[in-house]
Amino acid sequence: MHTEQSVWKPRKVVIVGAGAVGSTFAYALAQSGLADEIALADMNNDLAQGQVLDLAHGLPFFPPVDIHVGSKEDYADAHAIVITAGAKQRPGESRIDLLRRNAAIIESIMDDIISQNSGAVVVVTSNPVDILTYIALKHAGWQKGRVIGSGTVLDSARFRYLLSQHCGVDARNVHAYILGEHGDSELPAWSMTHLGGVSIHDYCPNCRKCGNWEAERRHLFETVRDSAYHIIDYKGATWFAIGLALVRIVETILRGQKSILTVSTLLEGEYGLEDVCLSVPCILNQDGVERILRTSLPPEEQQALRHSAEVLKKARLDLKGTA
């Protein structure tokens, strides 16, 4: 007879940074019903308190969830820790100085996580996300799959949305990936793009919208790549779609779903690249990246991915060089 009582463990997510991205993610996560406990932490404790109260007042409308202000002790039994903490650029501050301050923030958060013997998967969102993911992973010295970046999950969603508009198909039936850096050197993997199993190269000539498919492709990708700039021009920052992208990433971690997502992960020879965090399709489970998918990209996509890796490595070298 089975006498042992099974111990119920709440599915717990800690969000570090209660600003626009952290609080929107908390809101979307609470509504999703995926987490039993959400701890929201910020160095600005008043902000964290205010966001938690505001969210908690929605509890009569959410699935049950314990939402509270987080402290470093919360890392100990968390399943996922999502870092959205970041410094704002000061007037006259260079990109590299801002990066140095953000690197220091990420390292100090990782120190706290390590001090609590946390077994969580860490998801870095703060920008520049690929470089900060690399720094967080190297600082922790953990198995590489456990520290990931939100990478191009957001960019791939933007790409799928635009393709769905272009092709007149539900975005959920569009499978398409942006690879490389979450930033200017990212690239569209046209070779992996399909709608309901039909390659975009076969689908699009029949959709009767493409006067010049080459020009149309370029325009679609440039719109994806420059989306953040446009939104920032309109409203100062982006937060809704990244909040939802984070829910999607955390869903596969909490449920061990083995979903394929383009998170930022350390490459060690895959795609001919070494010692760089960037986004390629990965299978994600409860422990983080279970496997990096490998495929042979056509030469122009492979070359663009290599270029993206070089851009990221150079930024890391610049950071070292000015230290």
Ligand X SMILES: NC(=O)c1ccc[n+]([C@@H]2O[C@H](COP(=O)([O-])OP(=O)(O)OC[C@H]3O[C@@H](n4cnc5c(N)ncnc54)[C@H](O)[C@@H]3O)[C@@H](O)[C@H]2O)c1
CB of 3 to ligand X, least distance (A): 44
CB of 15 to ligand X, least distance (A): 10
Comparison of 20 and 319: residue with beta carbon closer to ligand X: 20
Q: Where along the sequence are the contacts to ligand X (CB under 6 A)?
A: 16-22, 41-44, 47, 84-88, 105, 108-109, 125-127, 129, 150, 154, 182, 237-239, 242
Comparison of 80 and 105: residue with beta carbon closer to ligand X: 105
- Catalytic residue (one of 68, 182, 201, 230): 182
Comparison of 72 and 146: residue with beta carbon closer to ligand X: 72
Query: Quick check: 54 and 271 in contact, CB under 8 A?
Result: no
Burial (CB < 10 A; 0-12, 13-18, 19+), residue 85, is: buried
CB of 8 to ligand X, least distance (A): 30
Comparison of 105 and 131: residue with beta carbon closer to ligand X: 105
CA 38 to chain centre: 18
Question: Structure tokens of 174?
Answer: 């569009």
**Looking at beta carbons, which residue is closest to ligand X?**
19
CB of 295 to ligand X, least distance (A): 24
Show the DSSP H helices in 116-212 as ranges. 129-140, 153-167, 200-203
3-state class (DSSP) for residue 183: coil
Comparison of 186 and 200: residue with beta carbon closer to ligand X: 186
Q: How many CA atoms lie within 13 A of 188 on its CB side?
A: 22
Q: Would you call 307 a catalytic residue per the annotation?
A: no
- Closest by CA position to 70, among listed 50, 40, 102, 100: 40
Q: Is the peptide bond before 188 cis (omega within 30 degrees of 0)?
A: no
CB of 127 to ligand X, least distance (A): 3
CA distance readout (Å), 289 to 28, 267, 275, 322: 23, 11, 16, 32
> Phi and psi (nearest 5°) for 199?
-60, 145
Would you name the residues annotated as active-site residues? 182
